[in-house]
Structures are given as C-alpha cells and as structure tokens.
C-alpha cells in the first residue's frame, strides 16, 4: 500500500537562500533496492488542525540504493556535530515524547525505540491506513532512528539513536477523512498531550507542529500545559514556523514562554527561505534536504522547521543522557551558549543563537551544578511574551529579551483551522523525491 508523506509542522529555518537554486531538487537516479516495491507519487499532506505539520511533497522519482540513504543523511548529522557527541553518549535512558500524528512502532528503523503511547484524538485513520502517522514517524526517525540491517547500516540513524520515543497523537494527517470532526471536537488535544507526556516521565517534548496563520494567538490551556511540563523538568522544543515567505507570522507553540523554538537552515548553514524569523527563535538546525523514514517503508527528502525541531530534540536527549540533572532552563542556556556559527551580535531572528551543537553542550555542561527547578513563569500578560521561565540563577543571559505580540491575545481552537488549512498546501513549495524502497511492510 502506498502512503502519503505528511508535511512538517509550522517550522522555520535560519537563512534565506536564493529561491531558484535552493528550491530545485534533482531526482535520484540510482539503482533500485530489492527490499521493497517502488511507490507511486504521493501528494503533499499537511498534518491536521490549527497545528499544521510542515510539508513534504513526494512525487515519483527513481529509487536509490539502500546505502545511499545513510550517505545522503550524513550531512545533517554532521551539521549538528552528532558523531562527536556519540563519543560520550547516544541518548540512552532519555525519553522524547513526539506529539504529532502518531508514530509507526513497527518501522524497522525504530525497532526497540518506541514506548507505549496514547492517542489524544481518538478518531481517524489507524495503523496500515494511508492517512496515518507519516509525519510523526518521520520526526521520530530524526530524533531516535536506529537504522536496520547488518550492523544497522541501512535506513535512518537519529541524532540520539539510543533514546526512547513516547508517541502522543494530538493531530490527524490532512487527508484523514475525520480531520474536520477532530478540529471541532478535540481542540484541547495538544494541551492534554503535553500534560500526559509530562506525567509519563518524558524528558523532552518535541512539538514539530504549530499554527502560523495570520489569526494565530496563544491558547491559555496550551501555555499552561507548557509551564506544567517545564516545572516538572521536561524540556519543550517546537518548530519556529514555516511562514518566512508569508510575512513571518508568530507561530504557536513556538511563541510560548520557555519553549526552545527552532529555525531551519539549508546545507550551507543559511536560513531557509520558508523559516519564520521572529524574536522567539532560540537555535537553528537542518531543515532542507532532510532524509525521513515513512510507514510505507520508503525514504524521502523533505523540508520544514518540523525537521529542525526534531534535530534539536535529539540533541537535547544527548545532553540529558550525559547530564540528567540539568533543568530545562539550564539546558536552554547551555545550548544557546555553545551553539555553533552564531550570527553577528550573538543572536538574530533568523538563526537564533546559531546551530545546535550537542557535543559542545555536553562538554560545557560538565562544569554546571544542577539547580532545583524553579516555579514556571506565570502566563503571558498583556501584549508581551518573554523567553520563558528562568531559574533566576547564574545562567548565561543571552536569552533575556522581550518582544511585542501583534494583535490581541486570544484562544486558538482546532475548530478555527479552516483558513490555515486552506493555505496549507501553499507552504509546500519544494519538490521532494523518494529515495528508495525499504524493507517491506510486514
């Protein structure tokens, strides 16, 4: 059965490369892998809801050899310096909650990595259906993929390949027939999912999703859920938004206090043209030409700040595996202070403080003293948002800015997603290709 790839959540990248060259993608013309059948063209599927998962457009293309997957993936792992971090840890003992469209627990690249999760939506497609878990599986692979085959040399290797994934389904794929009903009846799924993941002991919560429509506003329940997670020691990571070519609208949950918001960069380290540039950008990570796994057992390249957020969540998992007593504020501060290739002045809205570097963060954190968790910051007030709760200790202070929000604060419900979803496919601008068929679905 063929599947559709789901677009990444409202994520952004760090620089704006020239549109003509940066958006062209040549088809792969390598030899077919006998492990699985070729798959028909797949049209882009933005993930459901006000929370739009950023887009992967997957047309027909020639398959590649299986070993080409790892070769083409390596640039992104090198960009975040993951191999150097692996000399210390590969993420063992850390749980990353992936709040998304679901995760395929039977994918060979995720064997042994998936904990029992929860479906907060309670309707829609299920395992084996076309409209199920494409986006979430892609994000889980970036975070904690373990590869497969001899020596695990095939398939996707994640940033933290020994971390565990806690899947929490909080939205439906765009093509799911029940998405409209879910919008109307399950508007609280994200806030509920954040709290549930926290109560299950998640160390990191990955939110490769977001609302970056012009009408986006903070949701008090979601904001409170983020504060709940932070106050219980969970690090919250979100994509910055894919609105860079649409006026850089503020995206949530990236804009909530305390969230590590991630912009996207291309292979050259330049901000992606689609990546939202806003005050809340904390770090950047690869978000173009990223290799992702899919429940259909094929591999695809795609773009979006969803992928960038997943790279940072994997990096946080490595840091916490090496230094498990760090608070969320300390994690944020050490990642900011050790980021590679910081922009002039140390920070800007396109790149945040620079490219996440878990190896440098692990080394720097060796000198930190664990501090007790401080109460989470209060909810947003008036028209200002801060960078999130700080423990008020001796953390480095590059993240202490405030920025105004445009428009009055209001509640965004999934039921209000019509305008966003109407523009969803417009965010899918870059042709993407299928790389190879992986091992067949059991």
Q: Which residues are catalytically annotated?
A: 100, 135, 306
CB 108 within 8 A of CB 155: yes
In contact, 262 and 235? CB cutoff 8 Å:
no
Please say whether the beta carbons of 9 and 210 come within 8 A: yes
Q: Beta partners for 119?
A: 169
User: What values do phi and psi take at 279, rounded to 5?
Assistant: -60, -25
Partners of 98 in beta bridges: 167, 206
φ, ψ of residue 427 to 5 degrees: the values are -80, -10
Look-up of token digits 């009903």: 181
Tokens of 18: 């020239």
């Amino acid at each position: 059965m063929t599947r559709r790839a789901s677009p990444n959540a409202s994520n952004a990248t760090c620089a704006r490369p020239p549109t003509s060259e940066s958006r062209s993608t040549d088809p792969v013309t390598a030899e077919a892998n006998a492990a699985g059948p070729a798959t028909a063209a797949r049209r882009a599927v933005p993930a459901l809801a006000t929370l739009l998962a950023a887009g992967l457009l997957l047309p027909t293309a020639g398959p590649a050899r299986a070993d080409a997957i790892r070769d083409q993936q390596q640039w992104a792992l090198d960009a975040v310096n993951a191999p150097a971090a692996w000399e210390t840890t590969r993420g063992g003992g850390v749980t990353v909650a992936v709040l998304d469209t679901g995760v395929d627990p039977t994918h060979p690249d995720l064997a042994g990595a998936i904990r029992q999760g929860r479906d907060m939506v309670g309707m829609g497609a299920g395992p084996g259906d076309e409209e199920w878990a494409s986006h979430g599986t892609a994000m889980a692979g970036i975070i904690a993929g373990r590869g497969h085959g001899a020596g695990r040399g095939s398939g996707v290797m994640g940033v933290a390949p020994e971390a565990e994934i806690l899947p929490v389904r909080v939205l439906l794929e765009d093509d799911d027939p029940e998405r409209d009903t879910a919008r109307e009846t399950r508007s609280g799924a994200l806030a509920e999912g954040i709290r549930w993941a926290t109560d299950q002991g998640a160390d990191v919560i990955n939110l490769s999703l977001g609302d970056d429509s012009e009408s986006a506003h903070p949701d008090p329940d979601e904001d409170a859920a983020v504060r709940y997670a932070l106050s219980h020691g969970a690090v919250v990571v979100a994509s910055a938004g894919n609105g860079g070519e649409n006026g850089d609208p503020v995206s949530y949950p990236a804009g909530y206090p305390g969230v590590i918001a991630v912009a996207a960069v291309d292979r050259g380290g330049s901000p992606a043209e689609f990546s939202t540039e806003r005050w809340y950008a904390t770090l950047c990570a690869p978000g173009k030409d990223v290799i992702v796994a899919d429940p259909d057992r094929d591999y695809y390249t795609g773009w979006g700040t969803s992928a960038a957020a997943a790279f940072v969540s994997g990096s946080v998992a490595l840091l916490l595996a090496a230094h498990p007593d760090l608070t969320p504020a300390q994690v944020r501060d050490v990642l900011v202070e050790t980021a590679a290739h910081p922009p002039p002045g140390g920070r800007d809205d396109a790149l945040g403080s620079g490219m996440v570097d878990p190896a440098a963060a692990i080394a720097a954190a060796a000198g930190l003293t664990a501090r007790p968790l401080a109460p989470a910051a209060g909810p947003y007030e008036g028209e200002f948002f801060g960078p999130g709760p700080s423990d008020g200790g001796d953390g480095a202070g590059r993240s202490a800015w405030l920025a105004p929000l445009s428009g009055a604060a209001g509640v965004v419900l999934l039921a209000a997603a019509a305008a966003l979803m109407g523009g969803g496919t417009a965010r899918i601008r870059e042709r993407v290709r299928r790389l190879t068929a992986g091992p067949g679905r059991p």
